Every structure is written in C-alpha cells, then in structure tokens.
Amino acid sequence: MVNRQKTTLLSVAGIALPPMPSLLSTFTDLFMKAAPDTYVAQMSSNTNAQAQIATFASGCFWGTEHIFLKHFPPSENKGILKTSVGYTGGKEDASNPSYKQVCTGTTDHAEAVKIEFNPEIVSYAELVEFFYRTHDPTTVNSQGPDQGTQYRSVIFTHDADQETIAKRITEEVQAKHFTPKGQKIVTEIISAGKWWDAEEYHQLYLFRNPNGYQCPTHRLHW
C-alpha cells in the first residue's frame, strides 16, 4: 500500500516551523480566536427544526472539509453549522486511533468529515450530491495520488431516511455523470458507527495553512 504522507508544517512570514505540539496548540488557539464565527454557526431560535449530522469520506479529510466549508460557509448561513474531521468505519477493537495508526491501514478507519447542518437551509440530498461532485467516487481506496483504505469513498448514514436518500442520489449521479463515461461509482453506503475526532492540528487545516497539501480531486467536477 502506498500512502502520501501529508506534511503538517506551519509557517510565519515565510519561515517554516516544525509541527511541535506546543506550537500547534498555540496557532490553533490564535486561529480560532481570530475568526470564531466564520466556521461555526448556530441553529436559529426561530425554528423548531433540529440540526442533523452528515458524515462523508472522500479521500484526505483536509480537502473534504475545506471544499464543503468553502461552498457552504457557516458565516453566510448556507446550511452547514460546523464540521470536524476524524476517523470512522474502523475495527471495533481499534479505539481512538492516532493519525499514524490510521495511515498504516491496520485499523480500517477512513478519514472522514462530520457535518452538522440545518435541514431547513440545505437538504441532506444536496450535501450528498455535493459530496459526489467534489471527488472521484470511481476509484477504490484512493483519491488522486493518495492511496490506502483510509482514502476510500464512503457515505456513513445516520438513519434509514439518510440511507434511502443516499442510494437515490447515487443512482441519479451514476446515470447522469458516470454511466455516459463508462465509469461506475464504488462509494460504500453504510451505517455510521463509532467516531473519533482527529488530532487538533487536522481541524480546519487548509484554512490555517492555505498552501498546504490538497488532493487534486477535491474540486467541482460539474
């Protein structure tokens, strides 16, 4: 198995800094204090709707989180309330895995993004379609140069309605965008299981490090 190791260097005034935990913690605090409302929103008090959760895996979670927040910024009230990146879909006995452990492929976890959203503003169906629109769902255990089971394409559903919607949108996207090209979607649709938040330096990584690595498949494909 080949795995593209992502760097976690930060920089100030063009000077690279090592990814030491203390420095990462400091920059995390400064970053979140600088723009706390940009990446987090609250449900309106004028609605009886409940926030819902969508969980997707589509390769490197840095890019997956980045493109969702770029097009559905919480500060612009487009439906996404907040996100977190983490690990899910792994072995039952692989508890609270580290990034290094997930990268070995031995835990079977996928790098994923958990999205809290307001269903009165953006529907689950819209998020599923956007998920397909922003990666290559036809490659098994890989996205671009990133290879390994942690980079597989998965929709982790949280209830029966989400499963039904995910399957319907998958069929529609397959027929419209991939069957004409002779390609087949290999995305798994499975029930969400135990979730583990990734290390803090992975959260909102590409917003903190705009020149950091981003998988080339994480773009608008249509």
User: Which of these, 3, 6, 10, lies nearest to 207 by C-alpha position?
Assistant: 10
Give dist(CA 50, CA 62) in Å, integer.
27
Give the CA distances from residue 217 to residues 42, 146, 201, in Å, rounded to whole numbers and listed in that order: 30, 10, 22
Provide the angle, in degrees to the nearest 10, between the axes of the packed helices 61-71 and 124-133.
120
Helix, strand, coil shares of the chain as percentages rounded to 5? 35, 20, 45
Give me the active site residues, please. Answer: 60
